[in-house]
Structure 1
């Protein structure tokens, strides 16, 4: 039957959309037998764990089908239907649309669909080492981000795996199995804040947040201009211009009790982005703290240095720079009697007072 003008027009639009979405270079028309064929009675093949792709629009699904075929070789219609949570009839229509868009798909009796030999999606080309590093990076961050970016990382891994030539896949898998990077896990509460703050940064909107600092018993409310998010020491931090302090500050997301994105927009100051601060000289820390550590603790102190560390002197003495005793006393307490504060007197007094309160709590045990 000859296609009418309406059908030819729809096919042409779909062809263009497929080529634009897939970055596919024109290929010869598919060989005879392309399209959907004898799939219902195929023997069951090995099927990957199901991916949840319900609700995907058709253009994305067409691309994902090509990637599935590229990664797996041959796939049955029922397996594709199960993967994308659609009917087999929908898969048949999708395969027909891909064939009309000059994607060379062949139906193989007893095996399902496959791409013609030599068909690929350009222009990606990675060495095994490059591909292994990309895979390692995607796996490292996927549990530290929110659901949207976790899904993006998963899809990126699928696409990367699909474009690797068979000769490189075994090498890449071996490299990946030999290395692991653990970057922590974002709780649902932190993941929600990540999503909100990411949008606020992109839209340059002021954020009002209620933040807990170790220096103060009560949370303080402040308006900030968010610049970027950083993940280090297994914790997400927001770097923002604090209107209360009139300086760039970092806020741990797990210490934010509540946040709200305001309608107000701010003008991004590139000096703050480049220098991390306002571009002006920041006030030097008020206190220089010298601490002598016993030999048995030195190695572990070096592994978990305080953020105010400046230098190490002979005889196990380390020098720190902080603004007030509360910045370092909690960290010093973890080392117990292995840490002796040499100066300044105010840090010595603060540490002694804290130690006295701890001793009072257990005084009954000390008298026995």
Structure 2
């Protein structure tokens, strides 16, 4: 029986019986006297449990509640290790969307800090020791994040004014939110677009207005969402999946062999030390950018059109530098 289970058991025993002798508690809990003393002290000191030893009755009981905070066992109990993990996750989530979750989890944090104990790292220490460094985050704030989240969870439609950076145009769209995705330091909404009668993925920071509507959202199955958005590489979805075959240099293979580019990738280490990776993709834009990021350390073997796209881009890059003299 874990410490957590013992705390609940002690509470149950003392609530159900007027008095419990030391031996009755030891027998019920199957622990030593030293452990029982520690558990009782913890309950009294940390959670203000009104536990007293009644000498006349020869056992332990609940007395009149103490002054100060009311005695109450938290709805959820965690070990010290689990508590550290939860505090760490809160720190990360707060960084992902500053201020969004803090008001909602603050009451829970107070309980978690109490469980963590004085001899463990405090919440502030945890946040100081864990740092999330983000690059490429778009500076335009997603001020409608809370409203979109509400629509998503309540299964309601939203009307948005969406700015397309690619086309430099703004369009009103009626959407049924399906999933929020945090990808490469930015939030995306996967939604059913009623105008297009199709699934689309939108960057949340590209919404210039958001209106929550009373109409129920149209639900799309998880299988359809996965088929549309998760089959190919990166943020660009699509059902028409092809396989990119990439060969990495011996030097870069030491890193790439341990990376996941896609859950359905297939990689193999070649006899000459190079690394061959087969990655499914639906749209070539993002995978081409990641290939270019690695420069001469990666070569596109197939398909031919992707190889040509990357070669054409390297030629355009070369022409930029060819016409520029260093000062």
TM range (shorter): 0.5 to 0.7
Q: CA deviation at 1:358?
A: 0.8
In structure 1, stretches of 5+ residues that fail to align are 1-25, 27-69, 74-101, 106-114
Task: Give secondary structure in 2 for the equivalent of 1:120.
Answer: coil
Pick one of 190, 195, 199 that aligns with 1:239. 190
Q: Deviations over 1:264-301 (max 9, x none)?
A: 623442x524663589xx87434322121111112333
**Match in the other structure for 2:242:** 287
> Which residue of the other structure, out of 65, 88, 103, is the alignment partner of 1:136?
88
Q: 1:123: Cα distance to partner?
A: 4.2
- Distance of 2:157 and 2:246 partners within structure 1: 43
- 8 Å contact from structure 1 (residues 144, 184) kept in 2: no
TM-score (norm 2): 0.61
Task: State whether residues 211 and 257 of structure 1, in contact with CA within 8 Å, keep that contact through their aligned partners in structure 2.
Answer: yes
Computed over aligned residues only, the root mean square deviation of the Cα atoms, in angstroms, reads 4.2
Partners of 1:207 and 1:302 in 2: how far apart?
A: 44
Residue 216 of structure 2 is matched in structure 1 by 266
List gaps (5 residues or longer) in structure 2.
1-14, 16-44, 49-63, 232-237
Compute the displacement of 1:226 (Å): 0.7
Q: Does 1:310 align with 2:265?
A: yes
Rate the CA distance shift 1:308–1:327 in 2: closer, same or farther, 3 A: farther
Alignment of 1:307-346 (within 5 A): 307=262, 310-313=265-268, 314=270, 315-346=274-305
After superposition, the Cα gap between the structure-2 partners of 1:249 and 1:71, relative to the gap in structure 1 and judged at 3 Å, is farther
Q: Where does residue 307 of structure 2 map in the other structure?
A: 348
CA distance in 2 between counterparts of 1:141 and 1:173 reads: 18
Q: What's 1:358 paired with? A: 317
Higher relative contact order (CA 8 A, sep 6+): 1
1:171 matched residue in structure 2 = 120
Partners of 2:113 and 2:265 lie apart in 1 by: 45
- Separation in 2, partners of 1:180, 1:339: 33
How many angstroms does 1:334 deviate by?
A: 0.7
Cross-structure match for 1:228: 179
Question: 1:198-237 deviations in whole A, cap 9, x for unaligned?
Answer: 2222261233341547xx4445634321123233543322
CA contact (8 A) 1:205 1:225 kept: yes
Name the SS of the counterpart of 2:143 in structure 1: helix
**Residue equivalent to 2:132:** 182
Q: Secondary structure at the match of 1:342?
A: strand
Q: TM-score, normalization: structure 1?
A: 0.55
